[in-house]
């Protein structure tokens, strides 16, 4: 696949990782000069010609040769443009942020977890406890080599070259999901309860008042019975009168 040729008039238009097709114009002891069609030529160091060590630039390049290169570093104020023939990684260490969600491929399974290729210098690790909610005996119970997965970055240790990932963090917790469903069912049941009528409300109020005033009336059973009935009759009568007035 041929690289897309980018023609810029100024170094200010160039960014890191931009890809160009250039021409070797000069061979140096420690590298080469490459014309990529901008206002200044680019410089490629011998260490950036390929991933394997190179003893002489002439073993890889020759004047007039057309090559694909990427921008490694750009210094607009210094008018300096550094190139590389080694394709840059999609994700560099400083670009990997905790909490970021990325896609990757399962490359290797171990007893303690699964390694995921996310386009960084090294694959990230999903510990077996982060593969799924609940208990799984082996990582193979959750994923297989070659699976395309979505993971969340838990932590990044650039010094140790470690990337800790999680699949569980992007999944719904079944226990919490069940709790939510039960809570919703309770709320739905409450909303379907019938609204008490004015007569029912009056009756409830009469019962509550009779219980509150229980200690103020003589303890003789007949007196308490009469007092409760009188109070209930009064509340019901007032309620009925109010409904009649409202209706008329």
The pLDDT of residue 37 is above 50: yes
**Whole-Å CA distances, 50 to 26, 66, 68, 210:** 18, 15, 12, 95
Is 162 in the same domain as 202? no
* 211 domain residue, yes or no: yes
pTM: 0.56
Residue 179 lies in a domain: no
What is the rounded CA–CA span in Å between residue 245 and residue 125? 77
73 and 97 share a domain? Answer: no
Residue 66: predicted pLDDT = 96
Q: Please tell me the predicted confidence (pLDDT) of residue 231.
A: 59
pLDDT of residue 38: 87
pLDDT the model gives residue 238: 63
Q: Total domain count for the chain?
A: 3
Tokens of 169: 């963090």
Structural domain span for residue 215: 198-247
Closest CA to 72 of 104, 102, 48: 48
- Same domain? For 17 and 74 the reply is yes
For residue 58, what is the domain's CATH number?
2.40.50.140
DSSP letter string, 42-91? EEEEGGGS-SS--S-GGGT--TT-EEEEEEEEEETTTTEEEEESSPPPSS
Look at residue 43 and tell me if it is in a domain: yes
Q: Of 85-99, 126-140, 165-179, where does mean pLDDT reach its minimum?
A: 165-179
Q: Do residue 97 and residue 80 come from a single domain? A: no
Distance between CA 227 and CA 130 in Å, rounded?
69
Closest CA relative to residue 128, chosen from 137, 120, 117: 137
Last residue of a domain, one of 35, 62, 84: 84
33 falls within a domain:
yes
Computed over every residue of the chain, the mean pLDDT equals: 82
pLDDT at 10: 80
Last residue in a domain, options 170, 189, 208: 170
Q: Is residue 120 a part of any domain in this protein? A: yes
Q: What pLDDT digit, counting tens, does each position of 207-245 carry?
A: 666 666 555 544 555 455 555 555 556 655 665 555 555
Positive or negative, the CA dihedral 111, 116, 117, 119 is: negative
**Does 180 fall in a domain?**
no
Residues 29 and 57 in one domain: yes
Per-residue pLDDT band for 13 (boundaries 50, 70, 90) equals confident
């Amino acid at each position: 696949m041929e690289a897309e040729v980018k023609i810029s008039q100024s170094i200010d238009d160039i960014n890191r990782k931009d890809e160009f097709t250039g021409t070797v114009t000069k061979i140096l002891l420690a590298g080469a000069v490459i014309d990529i069609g901008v206002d200044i030529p680019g410089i490629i160091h011998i260490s950036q010609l390929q991933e394997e060590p190179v003893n002489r630039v002439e073993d890889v390049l020759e004047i007039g040769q057309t090559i694909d290169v990427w921008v490694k570093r750009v210094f607009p104020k210094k008018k300096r443009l550094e190139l590389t023939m080694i394709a840059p990684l999609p994700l560099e260490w400083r670009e990997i942020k905790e909490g970021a969600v990325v896609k990757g491929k399962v490359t290797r399974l171990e007893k303690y977890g699964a390694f995921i290729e996310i386009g960084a210098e090294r694959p990230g690790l999903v510990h077996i406890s982060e593969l799924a909610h609940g208990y799984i005996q082996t990582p193979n119970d959750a994923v297989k080599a070659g699976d395309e997965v979505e993971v969340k970055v838990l932590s990044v240790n650039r010094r140790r070259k470690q990337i800790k990932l999680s699949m569980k963090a992007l999944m719904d917790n079944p226990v919490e999901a069940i709790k939510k469903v039960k809570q919703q069912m309770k709320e739905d049941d409450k909303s379907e309860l019938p609204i008490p009528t004015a007569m029912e409300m009056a009756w409830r109020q009469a019962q509550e008042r009779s219980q509150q005033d229980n200690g103020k009336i003589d303890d003789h059973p007949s007196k308490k019975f009469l007092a409760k009935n009188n109070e209930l009759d009064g509340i019901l009568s007032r309620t009925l009168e109010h409904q009649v007035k409202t209706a008329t």
